[in-house]
Amino acid sequence: MFDFIDPIQAKKNLNRQGTKVLHSIVEAYNSGALDDPHTAVSFCSLLATICAGKVLGQLDKEAMTVVWSLAPEYRKNLDKIASAISDENVIIGPWK
């Protein structure tokens, strides 16, 4: 499912998480995550979900790391999709 995000809204979402994104970029750079193609792709995917407003960051003051979690609205959407899938498409097999 593709949800179109207006570029202006994407910029607002990114600006709202700006300092946390900068912390994550520095953290990824220092750990070498940007040098590995697989982790770099994952990091870019994280940036895309930030722009889409699907994740929110929390800065852990003690460890000075950013912890990303699903936005409440997006979590509700995923829970609704998961319940619809589990209600309709359950195939009972011999593996009970």
pLDDT tens digits along 17-69 = 999 999 999 999 999 999 999 999 999 999 999 999 999 999 998 988 999 99
Bridge partners, 74 (sequence order): none
- Nearest CA among 71, 67, 87 for reference residue 3: 71
Identify the three-state secondary structure at position 21: helix
Q: Look at the block and give the residue holding tokens 């999709």.
A: 81
C-beta of residue 43 within 8 angstroms of C-beta of residue 21: no
pTM of the model: 0.80
Q: Is 51 left (phi over 0), alpha (psi -120 to 50) or beta?
A: alpha
Extents of the domains making up the chain? 7-87
